Amino acid sequence: MGRVSPTTPDLVHHADSPESPWWRDAVIYQIYPRSWADSDGDGIGDLPGIIDHLPYLRDLGVDAVWLSPFYVSPMHDAGYDVADYRDIDPLFGRLADADRLIDTAHDLGLKVVVDLVPNHTSSDHPWFQEALTAPPGSAERARYLFRDGRGPHGDLPPNNWRSVFGGTGWSRVPNPDGTPGQWYLHLFDTTQPDVDWDNPEVRDEYDAILRFWLDRGVDGFRVDVAHGLVKDPALPDTTGSMHLTENPVGHVMPMWDQDGVHDIYRRWRAVLDTYTIPGDPDSQRILCAEAWVRPEERLSHYVRPDEMHQAFNFPFLETPWDSAAYRHVIEASLRSNDAVGAPTTWVLANHDVIRHASRFGLPQDGQRRNGIGAHDPQPDAALGLRRARAATAMMLALPGGAYLYQGEELGLPEHTTLPDEVRQDPTYHRTLGTDEFQRGRDGCRIPMTWRHDQPSFGFGPGANTWLPQPDTYGDLAVDRQDGIPGSTLTLYRDLLHYRRKHRFGHGSLAWDSLTSTTVLAFRNTSGDGTRTALIVTNFGPDPVALPEGDVLIASGPLTDDGAVPTDTTVWLRLPTTQEETR
């Protein structure tokens, strides 16, 4: 009866078993702790603020939260520079607050994923401090990548690697007697020395850190720079850009995506699996890779059955607004991950990229932009929001899991006119005045907007915010959108509700014949075959007529005669099965 059968020629992906574990179709909401909710009025979000607002996430309909780092840190990279992996920075609260956060989330039916930063520590970490006072060749230095410099006096860095944040990737330290000494590698800021993953002591330490948080009840880890931990041991000079996200296909960079990283993830998977309660898939703890790796097939190596559970689909995030480009990336991702039995993890936004409500309002020329400043060409806000809503409606109909970034459910744009003097991202300061100049990531990290009529838009009790909020955030506040038909918040709630109700995250995917150079159309059929939705996204100028069926949801108004206008996504329930018509 119309059910998509396994022999359908355009079937790209089979449905998952309805009993599969929670993470395979989970929608996980990223909280950037310093910017979500501030309880004490210091202008910086904190754990008590998060706890107070967790019911909002239950009502939104997500399955889990991922928290960016909240550990003790000098905050040179907003906490991605960890000085103590086993405690909370006083800015955010105390360890007891983390425990209460985990318990409260669990009581609300939300899982908790925390951030693990294993590529580097902070230079304030006791290990690095010990390394500085220890001699070359010592066990203390062997936890990091210390090397002698080149040139007759060792004045030149050991190789030509650049920092992802701009400038050289090496810094020189003085010897205990004050004379110039060795150099250490830092792929990011000078305050983020890379650790040496060939050192067994390093491996043991991070196992212990995993256990520390697993014992406290976290449900998983998002793994920072997962493709960077292992370096080619020869540390050879390299050609090409060092940008974290630029790992060109067919060009193996000596610091990115080295095969040796996979041993680490096998080891961690074994640790996590000891926490699974037999017969209870809900107890599974997960690992999610932040790996900027291409092509999709290389990325799928991170989610082989004995490695991580999820890997962010950054090729999807970087896809320009184009039907054929989406068709290609969706198909390539599903096929690569199906080959290893893993779900695909869709994502459109995070704390490192321009918010998609603004990104889609820029020229879709495939060019990466690192932030937007007041004197740069400004995005078309209305166009960007319209496309962002259509993109999210498409994404949440795809089989697999998905991550959302705080505020996207309100349609928040990037802050594109931040005064340069308030910028805090180290990439801005490290590249200022150079030809690597990056405006930086502050514009996507602006504090949340909860109440339109309060100072700091309800972010905190007073007016303080660590970065200024744009005026436009007032009308986008939660209280302005809550329960309002057509608002972006209502759209997200509806999408998450239907997705969960019909288990579209576990469904199959087949291309529909409406697909063309300007239309992306696919069918998602639930594993038991009882529901098929047709999802249509119109990238072209002309409205697209729909076949017979009930419109479940639309990312924007339809035309008067019920067609899908430009830059709009519709979910249509098709009258397909006997069960449904009963």
Applying CB under 5 A, the residues found at the interface with Mg ion are 38, 40, 42, 44, 46
CA angle 367, 369, 374 (to 5 degrees): 135
Clarify whether 436 is annotated catalytic. no
Q: Which does 77 bind (CB under 5 to 8 A by kind): ligand NOJ, Mg ion, none?
A: ligand NOJ
Minimum distance of Mg ion from residue 461's CB (angstroms):
9
Q: How many C-beta neighbours within 10 Å does residue 250 have?
A: 6
Q: Is 225 an interacting residue with respect to ligand NOJ (CB under 6 A)? A: yes
Report the alpha-carbon distance of residue 15 to residue 423 in Å, rounded.
46
The number of C-alpha atoms within 13 Å of 535 and in the hemisphere containing its C-beta is: 29
Minimum distance of ligand NOJ from residue 487's CB (angstroms):
29
Q: Is 352 an interacting residue with respect to ligand NOJ (CB under 6 A)? A: yes
Burial class of residue 381 in the structure, from the number of CB atoms within 10 Å of its CB (0-12 exposed, 13-18 middle, 19+ buried): middle
Clarify whether 19 is annotated catalytic. no
Q: Please say which residue, 92 or 522, places its beta carbon nearer to ligand NOJ.
A: 92
As a dihedral over the C-alpha atoms of residue 415, residue 416, residue 422, residue 425, rounded to 10 degrees, the angle is 80
Minimum distance of ligand NOJ from residue 236's CB (angstroms):
23
Minimum distance of Mg ion from residue 39's CB (angstroms):
6
Minimum distance of Mg ion from residue 263's CB (angstroms):
40
Nearest to 489 by CA among 474, 500, 479: 479
Residues 274-303 that bind ligand NOJ (CB under 6 A): 290
Report the alpha-carbon distance of residue 105 to residue 350 in Å, rounded.
21
Minimum distance of ligand NOJ from residue 554's CB (angstroms):
33
Q: Please say which residue, 38 or 494, places its beta carbon nearer to Mg ion.
A: 38
Report the alpha-carbon distance of residue 47 to residue 96 in Å, rounded.
10
Q: Which does 46 bind (CB under 5 to 8 A by kind): Mg ion, ligand NOJ, none?
A: Mg ion
Minimum distance of ligand NOJ from residue 331's CB (angstroms):
27
Minimum distance of ligand NOJ from residue 293's CB (angstroms):
14
Residues 173-202 that bind ligand NOJ (CB under 6 A): 188
* Residue among 16, 25, 77, 196 that touches ligand NOJ (CB under 6 A): 77
Q: Which does 38 bind (CB under 5 to 8 A by kind): ligand NOJ, Mg ion, none?
A: Mg ion
Catalytic residue among 46, 196, 290, 408: 290
Q: Kindly state the tokens that stand for 274.
A: 């000891």
Q: Which does 42 bind (CB under 5 to 8 A by kind): Mg ion, ligand NOJ, none?
A: Mg ion
Closest residue to ligand NOJ, based on beta-carbon distance: 80
Q: Please say which residue, 289 or 564, places its beta carbon nearer to ligand NOJ.
A: 289
- The CB-based long-range contact list for 524-527 (8 Å cut-off, 24+ gap) reads 524/397, 524/398, 524/399, 525/3, 525/4, 525/15, 525/576, 526/15, 526/18, 526/502, 527/15, 527/16, 527/17, 527/18, 527/503
Q: Please say which residue, 51 or 75, places its beta carbon nearer to ligand NOJ.
A: 75
Number of residues that bind ligand NOJ (CB under 6 A): 9
Burial class of residue 338 in the structure, from the number of CB atoms within 10 Å of its CB (0-12 exposed, 13-18 middle, 19+ buried): middle
Size of the chain, expressed as the number of residues it contains? 582
Q: Which does 257 bind (CB under 5 to 8 A by kind): ligand NOJ, Mg ion, none?
A: none
Contact 236, 255 (CB under 8 A): no
Residues forming a β-bridge with 13: 509
Q: Please say which residue, 34 or 369, places its beta carbon nearer to Mg ion.
A: 34
Report the alpha-carbon distance of residue 426 to residue 188 in Å, rounded.
9
Q: Please say which residue, 79 or 361, places its beta carbon nearer to Mg ion.
A: 79
Q: Is 70 an interacting residue with respect to ligand NOJ (CB under 6 A)? A: no
Report the alpha-carbon distance of residue 446 to residue 459 in Å, rounded.
10
Residues 503-522 that bind ligand NOJ (CB under 6 A): none
Q: Which does 44 bind (CB under 5 to 8 A by kind): Mg ion, ligand NOJ, none?
A: Mg ion
Q: Is 442 an interacting residue with respect to ligand NOJ (CB under 6 A)? A: no
Q: Which does 80 bind (CB under 5 to 8 A by kind): ligand NOJ, Mg ion, none?
A: ligand NOJ
Chain centroid offset of residue 551 CA:
30
Q: Please say which residue, 171 or 323, places its beta carbon nearer to ligand NOJ.
A: 171
Minimum distance of ligand NOJ from residue 125's CB (angstroms):
14
Q: Which does 225 bind (CB under 5 to 8 A by kind): Mg ion, ligand NOJ, none?
A: ligand NOJ
Q: Kindly state the tokens that stand for 337.
A: 């991950």
Residues 117-176 that bind ligand NOJ (CB under 6 A): 117
Q: Is 224 an interacting residue with respect to ligand NOJ (CB under 6 A)? A: yes
Catalytic residue among 89, 224, 436, 442: 224
Burial class of residue 175 in the structure, from the number of CB atoms within 10 Å of its CB (0-12 exposed, 13-18 middle, 19+ buried): exposed
Q: Is 80 an interacting residue with respect to ligand NOJ (CB under 6 A)? A: yes
Q: Kindly state the tokens that stand for 313.
A: 């689909």
Chain centroid offset of residue 407 CA:
13
Q: Please say which residue, 72 or 552, places its beta carbon nearer to Mg ion.
A: 72
C-alpha distances in angstroms, 273 versus 158, 283, 356?
40, 10, 35
Report the alpha-carbon distance of residue 313 to residue 348 in Å, rounded.
9
Just list the catalytic residues.
Answer: 224, 290
Residues that bind ligand NOJ (CB under 6 A): 77, 80, 117, 188, 224-225, 290, 351-352
